[in-house]
């Protein structure tokens, strides 16, 4: 059974479109994250939710809007896609949100290509 699953795995779309990436974890974890890995392979935190509440919101354009309907799901909606949004987006989860003692479990990633 997949612990953290993301869909879709690949997404190719035109500039200006709106798209969503979904994430679900079946580990019973309280905290979920979205990370972005750019073309230089640099992984950076975007958002973190603990029990459906936003706890971390890094400097990310407001075209990106996370939604957590319950603690097992954290979806990422992106409006008005731009070329620079092309990246691999990783969802992750951990037991709780701190203090840093938790091992993160990552999904397989969703590769977004904006043309």
Q: Provide the residue count of the chain.
A: 115
Nearer to another protein, 18 or 25 (CB): 25
Rg (CA), the chain: 13
Least CB distance to another protein at residue 75 (A): 17
Least CB distance to another protein at residue 83 (A): 22
Nearer to another protein, 8 or 16 (CB): 8
Least CB distance to another protein at residue 81 (A): 22
Least CB distance to another protein at residue 109 (A): 6
The CA distance from 11 to 103, in Å, is: 28
Provide the Cα torsion 86, 9, 57, 26; round to 10°.
Answer: -170
Positions in the binding site for another protein (CB under 8 A): 4, 33, 40-45, 48, 55-56, 90, 92, 97-101, 103-109
Give the other-Cβ count within 10 Å of 54's Cβ: 12
Residues 44 and 53 sit within 8 Å (Cβ to Cβ): no
Nearer to another protein, 75 or 89 (CB): 89
């Amino acid at each position: 059974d997949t612990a953290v699953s993301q869909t879709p795995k690949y997404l190719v779309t035109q500039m200006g479109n709106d798209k969503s990436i979904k994430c679900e974890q079946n580990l019973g974890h309280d905290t979920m994250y979205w990370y972005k890995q750019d073309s230089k392979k640099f992984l950076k935190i975007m958002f973190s939710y603990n029990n459906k509440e936003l706890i971390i919101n890094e400097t990310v354009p407001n075209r990106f809007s996370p939604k957590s309907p319950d603690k097992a799901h954290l979806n990422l909606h992106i409006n008005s896609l731009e070329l620079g949004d092309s990246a691999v987006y990783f969802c992750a989860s951990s037991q709780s949100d701190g203090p840093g003692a938790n091992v993160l479990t990552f999904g397989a990633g969703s590769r977004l290509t904006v043309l």
